[in-house]
Amino acid sequence: MSSQPRGTGAQPGPSYSTATSPISQRSFRYEPARSGYTSPGQYSTYSTSTADRVGCLTAVRMSAFAKLSRFTRRLVHIRQMDFEFALWQMLYLLIQPSKVYKNFIYRKRTKDQFARDDPAFLVLLSLSLLFSSIFYAYALGLSKTGFFTFFLWSVFVDCIFVGVIIATILWWISNKFLRKVRDQDVEWGYCFDVHLNAFFPMLILLHVIVPILYPTLIDSPSFLSVFLGNTFWFLAACYYVYITFLGYTALPILHKTQYFLYPISFIFMFFVATLTAGWNISKTALYFYHSRAEPHKFAPQHNGL
């Protein structure tokens, strides 16, 4: 005789009650408590399900130090760098920069950060500065020492030092005045990435095209030379501002990003003023770089009595 109670209809086997079923456990595990964990395909629990926020699809959140450590480790492992994708980004920064920033949103959803975690772009940008310095060395007639000095100035002053200042200012402005939400902020690393993105087209215009055209078309007192030389700087500055605008507009946690376009008005007024005054910015810039690369040639000469 079976000891099973009559009328229950119970069958031997594991129990799948509501309290212990895997489905209910999974639902409870990813209950939107303020734990920082999320289920795949959902918004981060640090951000509610609105278009103003971007959540991470993973349950692992990394500190800023951990992200920097990961970036540094990949910097010394060339095989871990995706140079093909970095080249793709450089190409589209010249022809369709808005397409580049779609990848930053994808990275936030998959790796919990907007900023690049692959140093391949930075490495290629440094190599671009190295090769573009050859054009300046040719236009200015620099020695080997002057070429090396100019390259170091371009990397550590023009690119990194100026970039750190601009990224810090825009990082503070974005988090202080432009955020729509308070549970997410703009990463400083992303602001520096935006600067690097905007710097690359400037590099092509000012470090490649200008020194190539300088000896024949720009180094002249004529108005056409002034107009041509200043136009390249005007275009480079406007393109820098535009790519910066695209970078911050791509962040759904920010609003009023049209403010980033306002400097173009002042740049245009400055451009017109330089044409009116006959000031060739390219000649001034090349003289400045020459004096930094080979300062001994510009030192005042003291004749002995």
**Does 198 score more than 70 pLDDT?**
yes
Element (H, E) at 127: helix 120-140
CA distance 182 to 219: 52
Using DSSP, state whether 254 is helix, strand or coil.
strand
Predicted pLDDT at 61? 54
- Residue 68 confidence (pLDDT): 57
- The answer to whether position 222 is within a domain reads yes
Q: Is the pLDDT of residue 245 over 50?
A: yes
Of residues 117 and 111, more confidently modeled: 117
Which of these, 41, 92, 94, lies nearest to 102 by C-alpha position? Answer: 92
Is residue 171 a part of any domain in this protein? yes
Mean pLDDT check: name the lowest of 40-54, 213-227, 279-293: 40-54
Taking the C-alpha atoms of residue 42 and residue 1, their distance in angstroms, rounded to an integer, is 53
Q: Is the pLDDT of residue 242 over 70?
A: yes
Mean pLDDT of 7-30: 44
DSSP letter at 179?
A: B
pTM: 0.76
CB 267 within 8 A of CB 241: yes
Sequence-distant contacts of 36-41: CB under 8 A, at least 24 apart: 36/61
* Residue with the larger pLDDT of the pair 63 and 126: 126
The range of the structural domain enclosing residue 213 comes to: 65-296
Q: Is residue 167 part of a domain?
A: yes
The whole-angstrom separation of Cα 187 and Cα 209 is 33
| Tens digits of residue pLDDT in 292-305 | 999 988 877 655 54
Ordered DSSP codes for 242-253: HHHHHHHHT-TT
User: From CA 115, how far away is CA 124, in angstroms rounded?
Assistant: 17
11 or 302, higher pLDDT: 302
Q: Identify whether 100 is part of a domain.
A: yes
Helix (H, G, I), strand (E, B) or coil at 274: helix
Both tokens assigned to 71: 């970036």
Helices (H), 182-293: 188-204, 210-213, 223-249, 263-277, 281-293
**Count of CB atoms within 10 A of residue 179's CB?**
17
> Percent of the chain beyond pLDDT 90?
58
Q: What is the mean pLDDT of the chain?
A: 80
CA dihedral 205, 210, 211, 217 (to 10 degrees): 160
Give 231's contacts (C-beta < 8 A, 6+ positions apart).
Answer: 271
Do residues 48 and 66 lie in contact, with contact meaning Cβ atoms separated by under 8 Å?
no
Residue 266, pLDDT > 90, answer yes
For residue 193, pLDDT beyond 90: yes
Asked if residue 73 is part of any domain, the answer here is yes
Q: What is the pLDDT of residue 30?
A: 35
Q: Is the model's pLDDT at 152 over the cut of 50?
A: yes
Is 182 part of a structural domain of the chain? yes
* Residues 286, 213: Cα–Cα separation, whole Å: 12
Give the pLDDT of residue 26: 41
Residue 199 falls inside a structural domain:
yes
DSSP conformational letter for 255: -
Tokens coding 206: 């000012």
Mean pLDDT of 239-266: 95
11-25, 164-178, 267-281, range with the lowest pLDDT? 11-25
Number of domains the chain is built from: 1
Task: Give the mean model confidence (pLDDT) for residues 151-156.
Answer: 95
Q: Is the dihedral of CA 210, 212, 216, 217 positive or negative?
A: negative
Residue 17's pLDDT is what? 45
